[in-house]
Amino acid sequence: MKTIYEDLNKRFTMSGYKQQRDDLAFVTVDKDQLVNAITYLKDYHKFTHLAFVTAVDWLEENEFQITYLLHNYELKVDLGLKVRLDRDNPTMDTIHHLWKQARVYQRELHEMFGIDFPGSPGVNDPMILESWEGPPPMRRDFDTKKYSEETYDHRERQHIEPEDHLRKQLYPED
């Protein structure tokens, strides 16, 4: 893995190489070079499988981190590429032209975090949150309690012991 990183580092702006295990490493890539680095890994180092794309909200640093995990079947290794985005303008180039399933990951990150992937097909279509009218719910500054109180009617909770409930279901005449 270290030799792959050294090859990448000659070609792209990288930092923070971290070997988690023998078969797993992570590296941070410059936002403007991410798509080229992923393309290079796919074409020249046989990282042909996109395992997943996920995001983390670093609220205190006013950034999002997107992580792309790639897999090489021949070497049986995974390489994660991390990129940092400004929270105020979270835009990232799409990789849907490399892997079709990237569209789904990008739609999810757009819907849940508000990260935009211009040019990605269907990125603005609702996926999970149909008719959602609030801010992206996975952002750390999203106030779940406030949203719930403003959106849903309050009702009193009624507590029933599970044993009593089951008894009524099984023996309704008693």
CATH of the domain at 29: 3.30.460.80
Q: Are 122 and 107 in contact (CB under 8 A)?
A: yes
Using the predicted structure, report yes or no on whether residue 150 has a pLDDT greater than 80: yes
Using the predicted structure, report yes or no on whether residue 174 has a pLDDT greater than 80: no
Lowest-confidence range among 22-31, 44-53, 153-162? 153-162
In a domain, 161, yes or no: no
DSSP sequence for the chain: -HHHHHHHHHHS-EEEEEEEETTEEEEEE-GGGHHHHHHHHHHHS---EEEEEEEEEEGGGTEEEEEEEEEETTTTEEEEEEEEEETTS-B----TTT-TTHHHHHHHHHHHH--B-TT-TTTTS-SSSTT--SS-TTSTT--HHHHHHHHS---------HHHHHHHHH-TT-
In a domain, 36, yes or no: yes
**What confidence score (pLDDT) does residue 159 get?**
85
**What confidence score (pLDDT) does residue 132 get?**
85
In a domain, 163, yes or no: no
Torsion of Cα atoms, 19 then 23 then 24 then 28, to 10°: 70
Q: How distant is the alpha carbon of residue 88 from its chain centre?
A: 18
What is the number of structural domains in the chain? 1
In a domain, 12, yes or no: yes
In a domain, 100, yes or no: yes
Lowest-confidence range among 43-52, 55-64, 124-133, 137-146? 124-133
**What confidence score (pLDDT) does residue 128 get?**
87
- Taking all residues of the chain, what is their mean pLDDT, rounded to a whole number? 94
In a domain, 22, yes or no: yes
Q: Which residue is listed with tokens 């999810």?
A: 108
Using the predicted structure, report yes or no on whether residue 26 has a pLDDT greater than 90: yes
The predicted model gives 97-103 an average pLDDT of 96
In a domain, 128, yes or no: yes
**What confidence score (pLDDT) does residue 154 get?**
79
What domain range is 121 assigned to?
Answer: 2-153
Name the pTM for this structure: 0.86
Using the predicted structure, report yes or no on whether residue 148 has a pLDDT greater than 90: no
Looking at per-residue confidence, does 170 or 110 come out higher? 110
> 58: alpha, beta or left, given left = phi > 0 and alpha = psi -120 to 50?
beta
